[in-house]
Amino acid sequence: MSARSLFCLETSVEAGEWGDTASLEALAETALRAAATDLSVNEAQPFPDEPPEVSLVLADDATMTGINAQWRQQHKPTNVLSFPAFPLVPGGMPGPMLGDIILARETIEREARELDKPVDEHLTHLIVHGFLHLFGYDHIRAEDAEKMEAMETRILASLNLSDPYGDTEPV
């Protein structure tokens, strides 16, 4: 099975100035293909014959603040939120819908400036991060954070992108 057929991407602009959505969708396809391939090869993640759908929702900080407040009781924007369509544990078989990855443009741009990274590189990292959440990976406990961050770093390296965590402690 080719990596391209491991998922089906649907993108929607809900709010904000995202510019060329075709370029963003191509960036997301590349990031998700790398993540799906890595999961399949390195984590023995099964994928169904019919590629499950991933919804990429492009939002602004105001929209993200509302979503973050409703679902996480945090009245502020965040860079990425993931909402699995069905509960999935790492290694479990996904259903027809993986879920939603929601991105907040202004927060991502601000963080990229603070990190002194190109926006596209930071965006790629956040898409990979959100995708792993859809498969049940998390970073609440230190050992889970170490695993997830190592996976993210490995996936980004396959795209010739730097380690997003560097010398930081897992969060």
**What is the tens place of the pLDDT at every residue in 12-44?**
888 878 888 888 999 999 999 999 999 999 998
Fold of 3-158: Collagenase (Catalytic Domain) (3.40.390)
The pTM of the full predicted model, rounded to 2 decimals, is 0.88
**What is the tens place of the pLDDT at every residue in 87-140?**
899 889 998 999 999 999 999 999 999 988 999 999 999 999 999 999 999 887
Q: Cβ of 117: how many Cβ atoms within 10 Å?
A: 17
CB 40 within 8 A of CB 47: yes
How far is Cα 65 from Cα 160, in angstroms, rounded to an integer? 32
Q: Cβ of 8: how many Cβ atoms within 10 Å?
A: 16
How far is Cα 4 from Cα 62, in angstroms, rounded to an integer? 33
How far is Cα 22 from Cα 122, in angstroms, rounded to an integer? 18
